[in-house]
Amino acid sequence: MSGRVIVVGSVNVDLVVTGERLPAPGETVTGGRFERFHGGKGGNQAVAAARLGAETWFVGAVGDDAFGAEARAALEAEGVRTEGLTMLADEATGIALILVDGRGENLISVAGGANLALSPEHVRAALDAIAPGDGDIVLVGHEIRTEAAREALWLARHGGAATVFNPAPVSDLDRRTFSLADHLTPNRGELTALVANDARSSGPPPAGADDPAVASARLIEATAAGSGVGSSVLVSLGAAGALLVERGRAPRSLPAAAVAAVDTVGAGDTLNGALAAGLAAGLPLEEAARRAVLAASLAVTRPGARAGMPSLGELERALATGA
């Protein structure tokens, strides 16, 4: 029997301008096309998991405004359970301003709003009601306050659920938080920053820490030394796919599918949601990770953080054809 995916994180409305190129500092670039999408890393990850067939719940916060009502409705339209989505009367719903160029590269600025007002108490109330347990996967992001993310990881761990932590942005994260994760999912830049953060409190980084395999092994070691029993780091590497470093096994490269990228916004969120969905379905870690990398490859072929996220049928067809 499959477990649930419970996502704790941010939900935003994305305001997107797509143009020929990204502006330099102080420069105005005209001729862009404007679109509005629903986003936030947490909301995106929940949608990615739900589209791949997982029973998905979302824990987060929105403001008492039109954007908040839209954000809730958009999640529910994807089949995501929103009983854990708190409405905060004195906060605005989070907004992301996104610029995308003709190659699919992007710049993003976020006003966190209600996401940053989500407290550990809000998280505890929501998770007490949802009651994550054995077989469930709790996927936690860091576009919320660190103490709220830590509370979610701690409650999930003590309820018997497995934890996935997407440490984006890295900011002030240290092993007090990431040691509560069974699986860490940084990109390469976030991995470097996490190792640097850990070195400030726990000694110098290992020789060769610019190698993702070495840096990931350091984080697994740090996790084992903390309060968790973390077993893996899945490092997303963009068009190169991902690197899976698992306790007690040799690192494995997971190549991405060769696709024409239209918009890379949401690729990492797709990977995280797909990984959680695979683990909740009972797949072995490596198989879940390979499926997640393929799902992320498919997601960049269409514009918008959520629009390109594949359905379970699309992913299965891509797997069958060897895409």
- Residue 78 makes CB contacts below 8 A (sequence gap 6+) with 46, 47, 50, 51, 306
Specify whether 182 is catalytic: no
Q: In the structure, what pLDDT confidence band is assigned to residue 49 with cuts at 50, 70 and 90?
A: very high
Is residue 84, in this structure, part of any structural domain at all? yes
pLDDT, tens only, 158-182: 999 999 999 999 988 988 899 899 9
Is residue 42, in this structure, part of any structural domain at all? yes
Is residue 124, in this structure, part of any structural domain at all? yes
**Spatial distance between the Cα atoms of 298 and 256, rounded to a whole number of angstroms:** 9
**84, 79, 287, 215: CA torsion to nearest 10:** -40
pLDDT at residue number 318 = 92
Is residue 221, in this structure, part of any structural domain at all? yes
pLDDT at residue number 226 = 46
Note if the pTM is more than 0.75. yes
Is residue 27, in this structure, part of any structural domain at all? no
Percent of the chain with pLDDT over 90: 73
Q: For residue 278, give its domain range.
A: 5-21+33-321
Looking at residues 291-302, what average pLDDT do you find? 93
Is residue 26, in this structure, part of any structural domain at all? no
pLDDT at residue number 1 = 65
Q: In the structure, what pLDDT confidence band is assigned to residue 230 with cuts at 50, 70 and 90?
A: low
The CA–CA distances, whole Å, from 282 to 49, 191, 213, 265 equal 14, 27, 26, 28
pLDDT, tens only, 129-151: 999 999 999 999 999 999 999 99
Active-site pick, 14, 182, 263, 269: 269
- Read off the CATH number of the domain in which 197 is found: 3.40.1190.20
Is residue 28, in this structure, part of any structural domain at all? no
Counted domains in the chain: 1
SS (H, E, C) 3-54: CCEEEECCCEEEEEEECCCCCCCCCCCCCCEEEEEEECHHHHHHHHHHHCCC
pLDDT at residue number 224 = 65
Which of the two residues, 302 and 243, has the higher pLDDT score?
A: 243
pLDDT at 323 over 80: no
